[in-house]
Amino acid sequence: MGNIATNSKMMSWSITPISDRLDYMSWSEEGKIRIYSDKKYDEVVAYILYYDTSEKMTYLKDIRNNVLYAIPSGSKAKGYTLAFKLNLVHKEE
């Protein structure tokens, strides 16, 4: 058998609470990761995918690296895919 990972990440998406949305966002979703350590899971918001009504553009905000990505053609699916790929290559410090 191979080594058992002591640290694993899973990702899920949920709608951002209205109270946490900024005025220029028509919709917003939070990409949450579950990090397993010390025999428990901690859930952390790592990404925010949203539509900016003032700029008419979809963005993905990488919270951990403080980077904002513009999503071509406004597709949510492209935002989910980018977040998934970023999460795969992210190294915890």
- pLDDT tens string, the chain, 93 residues long: the values are 333 343 446 789 999 999 888 888 999 999 998 877 778 888 889 999 999 999 999 999 999 999 999 998 768 999 999 999 999 888 766
Task: Write the CB contacts of 90 (distance below 8 Å, at least 6 apart in sequence).
Answer: 9, 46, 64, 65
pLDDT for res 7: 43
DSSP designation for 39: T
pTM for the full model? 0.81
**CA neighbours within 13 Å on the CB side: how many for 37?**
8
Task: Write the CB contacts of 83 (distance below 8 Å, at least 6 apart in sequence).
Answer: 11, 31, 46, 47, 49, 60, 62
